[in-house]
């Protein structure tokens, strides 16, 4: 597992400690923390020697190419996979990083998911969205709630719901890619005007230099487009809004290991449609129905994963699968009291025992 787990939140640290302690207590195996991006293999043979020297039987890999910034990550995984199995191999990550592909797979198997559309042009987006109906848009290959927005169309205008209010947004098309950004920030020349005005004020009244400087900087900050105010979709995945949380955006997240739902939480957020805890959501322990558990297990199995974090969306008593996340999955041990690390450690050792005959 990567070193960042020990620098993460309390649940992740608890998960890491339980996992390592469980393996150590067995007396049959030992846990070797690996930070895959930091390894420096030049050839598959070097990776093979590393595996032999450390007597590696299985790599957990609580990580993902979605989040690893190192270019060595994918290369090292490829080298190592030639010599030792991964609990969630790179092929599973590849499958789960394709949101549309996962949904099509689940649909084929009769697992409930939302109908959606992959949109590549502004014209197609306008045609797909019904007047004043609510939709969730997201990129095809990003995680952690990145780029997920709740929008609607009224006439030719688009609006985004954020922080409990609707605000007009601009959706622009460039080379079959769609840029979504706040409407108020589409005229940066206003900021330039503010800066020039502040400069003129400073020349005319030198004693007001500090006030002019503050005015100029405020103009730039408030009126120019900032990187966190816009998002580029290439293309854009559009789903109908499916939620019954009232003023809250709600989803369920469960951790599935093998054929067992180990823990489940209800995530709610008044400000962000993703309900992700990392984006302001609040998690509370919950119990899934037997039907929901079977749906989550079936979704995990459908993508070939050994363990996964499965999202469920609920509306008017109906449940659908939102996403299947294979790494790094968010652990909620401090909220649920579940020993996720121990369960995964025991499962991983059982896999090794089976490999060893």
Q: What is the per-residue pLDDT across 261-297, written as a single tens digit (0 to 9) for each?
A: 999 999 998 877 877 777 778 899 999 999 999 999 9
Tell me how far apart the alpha carbons of residues 40 and 37 are, in angstroms, rounded to a whole number.
8
Neighbours of 337 (CB within 10 A): 9
**Average pLDDT score, the chain:** 85
Question: Cβ distance 239 to 116 under 8 Å?
Answer: yes
Tell me how far apart the alpha carbons of residues 36 and 72 are, in angstroms, rounded to a whole number.
8
**What are the residue ranges of helices labelled H in the chain?**
10-26, 44-53, 72-81, 90-96, 99-108, 122-128, 189-204, 209-223, 290-302, 333-336, 340-355
pLDDT at 271: 78
pLDDT at 274: 79
Does residue 235 have a cis bond before it (omega within 30 degrees)? Answer: yes
Percentage above 90 pLDDT, the chain: 52
Neighbours of 344 (CB within 10 A): 26
Question: Cβ distance 348 to 341 under 8 Å?
Answer: no
Mean pLDDT confidence for 206-226? 55
**C-alpha angle 350/353/357, rounded to 5°?**
140
| pTM of model > 0.85 | no
* pLDDT digits 0-9 by tens, 121-158: 999 999 999 999 999 999 887 777 788 999 999 999 99
pLDDT at 209: 56
Question: Cβ distance 90 to 84 under 8 Å?
Answer: no
pLDDT at 352: 94
187 or 153, greater pLDDT: 153
């Amino acid at each position: 597992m990567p070193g960042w787990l020990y620098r993460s939140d309390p649940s992740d640290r608890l998960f890491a400690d339980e996992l390592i302690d469980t393996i150590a207590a067995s007396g049959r195996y030992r846990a070797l923390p690996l930070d895959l991006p930091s390894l420096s293999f030049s050839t598959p043979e070097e990776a093979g020697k590393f595996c032999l020297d450390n007597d590696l039987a299985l790599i957990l890999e609580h990580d993902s190419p979605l989040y690893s910034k190192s270019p060595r990550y994918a290369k090292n995984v490829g080298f190592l996979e030639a010599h030792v199995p991964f609990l969630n191999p790179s092929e599973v990550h590849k499958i789960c990083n394709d949101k549309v592909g996962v949904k099509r797979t689940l649909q084929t198997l009769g697992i409930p998911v939302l109908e959606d559309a992959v949109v590549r042009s502004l014209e197609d987006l306008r045609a797909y969205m019904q007047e004043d109906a609510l939709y969730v848009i997201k990129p095809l290959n990003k995680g952690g709630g990145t780029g997920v927005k709740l929008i609607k169309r009224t006439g030719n205008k688009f609006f985004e719901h954020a922080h409990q209010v609707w605000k007009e947004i601009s959706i622009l098309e460039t080379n079959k890619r769609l840029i979504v950004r706040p409407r108020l920030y589409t005229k940066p020349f206003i900021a330039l005007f503010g800066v020039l005005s502040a400069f003129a004020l400073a020349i005319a009244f030198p004693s007001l230099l500090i006030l002019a400087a503050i005015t100029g900087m405020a103009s730039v900050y408030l009126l120019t487009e900032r990187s966190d105010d816009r998002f580029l979709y290439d293309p854009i995945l559009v789903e109908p809004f499916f939620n019954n949380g009232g003023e809250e955006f709600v989803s369920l997240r469960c951790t599935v290991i093998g054929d067992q739902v180990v823990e489940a939480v209800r995530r709610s957020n008044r400000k962000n449609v993703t309900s992700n805890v990392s984006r302001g959501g609040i998690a509370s322990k919950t119990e899934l129905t037997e039907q929901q558990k079977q749906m989550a297990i079936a979704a995990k199995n459908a993508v070939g994963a050994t363990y996964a974090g499965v999202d469920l969306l609920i509306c008017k008593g109906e449940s659908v699968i939102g996403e299947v996340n294979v790494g790094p999955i968010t652990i909620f041990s401090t909220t649920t009291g579940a020993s996720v690390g121990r369960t995964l450690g025991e499962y991983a050792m059982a896999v090794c025992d089976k490999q060893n005959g």
